[in-house]
Structure 1
Amino acid sequence: MNDPYRVFETLKDHYLMYIESRFALRHSQLRQERRDLLDQDEHLYREPHIEFVPPYQSSHKKLAEAALEIDGLPDELGDFAHHGLFESKNSLYKHQYEAIEAAQNKHVVITAGTGSGKTEAFLIPVIARLLEESKRWPTNNLRPWAWWQGNGSRISQRGNEPRQRQAAIRTLILYPMNALVEDQMQRLRKALDSDEAHEWLKNHRGNNRFYFGRYTGQTPVSGSEINPVTNRPNTNKIDKLRSELQDMDRTMQSIKRDSENAEKRNFFPCMDGGEMLTRWDMQSHPPDILITNYSMLNIMLLRDHEQGMIDQTRAWIESDPNNIFTLVIDELHMYRGTQGTEVAYLIRKLLHRLGLSDPKHAHQIRFIAASASLEQNANGSRNGYQYLSEFFGVAANEDTFEIIGGTHELPAQD
């Protein structure tokens, strides 16, 4: 449905129908009076505000062309990204091209507006690094993981993986709230866990997966797999996890049978793909891309349960000076005042735990931030760089940060 007014009317009617059915009234006059009270602007809804936004300036280059032009990008980037991340027929916006290019050597802040493709602008450099590193990974003999379908012991999702394929958090994407985490998960499922992406990885990367996972309070299950008192498997926790995975599996099987709504697949995890579904699996084998919120990150840095995730990531960083840890901060404008100060210190704590505050490894961190409403007058100004320096805890100037805004392409006048 492309008509915004029809979308508005449909949503409004659905809300009114829910209220009328959930809180039914016997008398028709009362029902009508309630509906008249609710069906007004500023009560149950607001009338739609439509803003016409000119298209953003194009780079006139496809992603495959950019991969050949920009130093550091693998030639295969366009080929892989076309399987779910970026359509081959589309050209990159100018600010997307500039952000991808700048991210090879600098920290990047993207301040283009809503609908400008900021997510693609920070995901493409992340996936490009995975494509480059994965050239050195050994062949992965994937084995069935569906332990939850029976009554046997739990099997680690990546327990059969070659040791040479180091498990580590290569990219951490930080969001201020879980709703934004869920939106990002849908994009990653489409980009990394589609059937086409799996086939490409099988043919070009030795059947490896690019692993990603959501680590929030909703990720099953909390607590320890081993009972600390008996030193035996915590059967209650394991059975709870088994039940949750069975529910996920049933939902995905139902979606697969609904061939008319293939896009629904991105709303639910693929049970045999690269998405890591449980805390215990991520604690033992950290995903390449971890998506979380700042509250959960703070907990992760305090608890023993997640210590292995930090240790393995630090070992990966120290194993090769060319390994780059990427920290993506979306909705940067939300980190102001007290909350901004808390997150700024959280970032410093994270870098310290990963060894990235050591001058020897300081070059192995890459910050990428995105915000649709960061003050445009801060771009390139002294105050803008001061904010970035205070937030990220590193020197911020024209040599270290590239601040990129989107430019609208105005239609030609007759």
Structure 2
Amino acid sequence: MFPSVVAAQIRNCVSDYLITTFRPTTPGFNGLIERFLKTANNLYRGPYVSVGLPFRQGTIGGDYFPEIPLGFIPFLHQERAFNRLSPPNYQSTIIATGTGSGKTECFLIPLLEHCRQQGNKPGIKAILIYPMNALATDQSKRIAQIIEQTPSLKGQVTAGLYVGEKDEKPTRVMTPEKVITDKEMLRKSPPDILLTNYKMLDYLLIRPDLQSLWTNNEPETLRYLVVDEFHTFDGAQGTDLACLLRRLKHRLQTPPGHLACVGTSATLGNKSDKTEILAYSKTIFKEEFEAAALIEEDRLSDGEFLGNALLNVLPLPRLEDWEKLQPDNYTDPENYLQTQAQLWLNPTTETDTFINKPIDDQWRVELGKELKSLPIIHNLIRGARRSGMK
């Protein structure tokens, strides 16, 4: 799917709808809609280009958790989250970084490390609250995979999903792809990590037949309280959540300042008022959030990203290449990408990286390196940054 093609198709469909739906019959108004649509920016604006530069790498490397290999070098914002949330710090934190920034890893790895250190001590040690069951289910699969693939966690740490929807094939034990979903098993043997939504958590606190879930929880057993998509809990729903979390602490007799409360969001931060975000977090969780508690993304500047790129002043595609530049002339994205690589980068031999080569990860990496050498890419990135777009 090419965004430019889809955008053009949507514009054409909307234009056709307006032209056929609104047919002026008053003299002097003939052709009004057509003229209106032909005038630039009357109905459509853009296209807009969003340029997301790489996140800044951290300094600690991939061995921050010796017993839980990361398999990647953390970004700087992940490193900051690790420093706040990992044992023995347990500091409440708001993670306000963009999509694809690894927000889940920011709290999940420290949380798993804490559960690992607790050994076989019973009780729920972390509660993860999601606004939708689909999100909770998706994250539960991810957690199951990490636990399965990590020897220090497999068989030692358990996670369970307790939501209103009935699982067609409930699991009573952890599997490589699934956490515990059998509700009876969860009540009999509460997991270390509980994934749920705020409405179900309400039921878990008040229904008499569900109180066995908290039997093994002493006042200091629960250590992490995570609210994903924190920005969705506003207005009346935010008030409900705030009251619910206070009831949870009271039910478990959690000591003041003991919990590491975490909120994650891809829309908070940036131009938002940091003071208001921290004040809101304090109101919802009833915990202290100092200035350093708000972790925002840290991306490379355009100068840093382009600084080591050598400019290649290549000839632009010619007028006779016009048809080759049109994405709707191709049956699949691979053919389109290979043709564009040849047009813009001017490879000259069959041994070139981009000619008749499969589009794999290595191909994409090399394409990215070569694109940084084009003046048009430099202008695009710097122009987007100057206009305030990321």
**Residues in 1 aligned to 2:293 and 2:126: alpha-carbon distance in whole angstroms:** 19
Pick closer, same or farther for the CA change 1:57–1:324 going to 2, 3 Å.
same
Among 365, 370, 376, the alignment partner of 2:270 is 376
**Offset at residue 50 of structure 1 (A):** 6.8
Residue in 2 that maps onto 1:396:
289
Residue in 2 that maps onto 1:178:
133
Structure 1 unaligned spans of 5+: 13-46, 68-74, 79-85, 135-164, 221-243, 250-268
Residue in 2 that maps onto 1:297:
201
- What secondary structure does 1:370 align onto? strand
**Offset at residue 271 of structure 1 (A):** 4.7
- What secondary structure does 1:306 align onto? helix
**Offset at residue 292 of structure 1 (A):** 0.6
Residue in 2 that maps onto 1:338:
236
- Structure 1 residue 129 corresponds to structure 2 residue 121: no
Residue in 2 that maps onto 1:209:
156
1:318-333, aligned counterparts within 5 Å? 318=220, 323=221, 325-333=223-231
Residue in 2 that maps onto 1:77:
68
Structure 2 unaligned spans of 5+: 10-45, 310-390
- Structure 1 residue 308 corresponds to structure 2 residue 219: no
Residue in 2 that maps onto 1:63:
62
**Residues in 2 aligned to 1:49 and 1:275: alpha-carbon distance in whole angstroms:** 41
Residue in 1 that maps onto 2:179:
275
Residue in 1 that maps onto 2:93:
108
Residue in 1 that maps onto 2:50:
51
**Residues in 2 aligned to 1:294 and 1:129: alpha-carbon distance in whole angstroms:** 23
Residue in 2 that maps onto 1:366:
260
- What secondary structure does 2:60 align onto? strand
Per-residue displacement from partner, 1:145-166 (whole Å, max 9, x unpaired)? xxxxxxxxxxxxxxxxxxxx33
Pick closer, same or farther for the CA change 1:5–1:209 going to 2, 3 Å.
farther
**Offset at residue 171 of structure 1 (A):** 0.6
Are 1:348 and 1:393, in contact at CA under 8 Å, matched by a contact in 2? yes
- What secondary structure does 1:174 align onto? strand
Residue in 1 that maps onto 2:2:
5
TM-score by length of 2: 0.61
Aligned length: 264
**Offset at residue 245 of structure 1 (A):** 4.0
**Offset at residue 377 of structure 1 (A):** 4.2
- What secondary structure does 1:166 align onto? coil
Are 1:5 and 1:48, in contact at CA under 8 Å, matched by a contact in 2? no
**Residues in 1 aligned to 2:163 and 2:103: alpha-carbon distance in whole angstroms:** 23
Root mean square deviation, CA, Å = 3.1
Are 1:211 and 1:275, in contact at CA under 8 Å, matched by a contact in 2? yes
- Structure 1 residue 188 corresponds to structure 2 residue 169: no
Residue in 2 that maps onto 1:91:
73
Pick closer, same or farther for the CA change 1:48–1:272 going to 2, 3 Å.
same
Q: Which structure exhibits the higher relative contact order, with contacts defined as CA atoms closer than 8 Å and separated by 6 or more residues? A: 1
Are 1:324 and 1:366, in contact at CA under 8 Å, matched by a contact in 2? no
1:399-410, aligned counterparts within 5 Å? 402-410=293-301
Partner AA of 1:212 in structure 2: A
Pick closer, same or farther for the CA change 1:271–1:370 going to 2, 3 Å.
closer
Percent identical among aligned pairs is 26
Pick closer, same or farther for the CA change 1:409–1:180 going to 2, 3 Å.
same
Residue in 2 that maps onto 1:256:
none
**Offset at residue 219 of structure 1 (A):** 4.0
**Residues in 2 aligned to 1:175 and 1:49: alpha-carbon distance in whole angstroms:** 31
- What secondary structure does 2:134 align onto? helix
Are 1:311 and 1:354, in contact at CA under 8 Å, matched by a contact in 2? no
- What secondary structure does 1:367 align onto? strand
**Residues in 2 aligned to 1:77 and 1:192: alpha-carbon distance in whole angstroms:** 9
Are 1:59 and 1:92, in contact at CA under 8 Å, matched by a contact in 2? yes
Partner AA of 2:259 in structure 1: I
Structure with larger Rg: 2
